[in-house]
């Protein structure tokens, strides 16, 4: 039984991963800006047999992240696994993007991952233990989407992938592995943030036609990849990007 800390755990892929970890009886600290969602996810995890606590925390604020880690350690001991997953998607073309939007996306998606990893690494090093860190990247970190307006989001995801590679090398000698999961289109609230409700079914149908495996991912699909990385079964995997996108990045964008 190991202690796993998950950010963005109140919904989507974070919640799906929390539920999967609960089934193997992990101790879970579930962090989300929406404290009610984090606490509800913790209840669901306890019903599955895991130990879990939900904590309200804005990952862009260092003091809040530090306090969340302190609370987790007091209850469950130092973290062995970290899933730095919290993120937002706010778009716009660069020439008209407000600096406040740019700074908010950077603060949550990139600085939030940095802070989540920083305090997790501190706990692991102080405990003298090995561990596994997983960060959520995106295909947008490697390719541009035809929909456009993804510059800020894409920049953060490319940054996360670069950060993962550097941390993997820096901390390998301590037995700490660092990897990225790269989910494709997934049935989460964030997936549809920038899509009008009336357009969602048409877009879902189009995505289903274009994804080689023929459907969007469910959070549980991505969670299985994350749980593998947060296990001894992946003990020789570090600095990797585990793509879980139904084949999208393997496919050329042109249709002929």
- In the DSSP assignment, the letter for residue 245 is S
Q: Does the annotation count 236 as an active-site position?
A: no
Identify whether the C-beta of residue 79 lies closer than 8 Å to the C-beta of residue 5: yes
**Residue located via tokens 């879990």:** 52
DSSP reduced 3-state for 175 = coil
Instruction: Pick the closest to residue 249 from 211, 208, 214 (CA basis).
Output: 211
Q: What's the distance, CA 105 to chain centroid? A: 14
Catalytic residue (one of 69, 153, 171, 236):
153
Q: What is the maximal distance between C-alpha atoms in the chain?
A: 58
Look up residue 9 and give its two tokens: 């755990």
CA–CA separation, 241 and 135 (whole Å): 9
CA–CA separation, 131 and 125 (whole Å): 9
Identify whether the C-beta of residue 134 lies closer than 8 Å to the C-beta of residue 83: yes
Phi, psi of 211 (to 5 degrees): -80, 125
CA–CA separation, 108 and 29 (whole Å): 19
Strands (E) in the chain, as ranges, are: 3-7, 27-32, 51-56, 81-84, 131-136, 176-183, 241-244
Please identify every residue annotated as catalytic. Answer: 153
């Amino acid at each position: 039984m190991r202690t796993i800390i998950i950010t963005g755990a109140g919904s989507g892929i974070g919640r799906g991963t929390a539920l999967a970890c609960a089934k193997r009886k992990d101790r879970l600290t579930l962090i989300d800006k929406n404290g009610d969602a984090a606490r509800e996810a913790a209840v669901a995890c306890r019903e599955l047999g895991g130990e879990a606590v939900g904590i309200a925390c804005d990952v862009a604020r260092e003091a809040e992240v530090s306090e969340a880690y302190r609370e987790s350690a007091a209850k469950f001991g130092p973290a062995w696994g970290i899933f730095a997953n919290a993120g937002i998607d706010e778009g716009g073309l660069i020439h008209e993007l407000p600096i406040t939007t740019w700074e908010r996306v950077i603060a949550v998606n990139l600085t939030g991952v940095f802070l989540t990893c920083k305090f997790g690494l501190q706990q692991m090093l102080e405990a003298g233990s090995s561990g596994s860190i997983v960060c959520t990247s995106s295909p947008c970190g490697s390719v541009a989407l035809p929909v456009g307006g993804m510059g800020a989001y894409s920049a953060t995801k490319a940054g996360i992938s670069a950060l993962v590679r550097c941390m993997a090398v820096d901390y390998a000698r301590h037995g700490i592995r660092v990897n990225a999961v790269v989910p494709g289109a997934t049935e989460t609230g964030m997936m549809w943030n920038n899509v009008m409700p009336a357009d969602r079914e048409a877009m879902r149908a189009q995505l289903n036609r274009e994804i080689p495996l023929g459907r969007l991912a469910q959070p549980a699909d991505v969670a299985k990849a994350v749980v593998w990385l947060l296990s001894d079964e992946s003990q020789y995997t570090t600095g990797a990007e585990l793509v879980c996108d139904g084949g999208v990045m393997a496919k050329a964008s042109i249709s002929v």
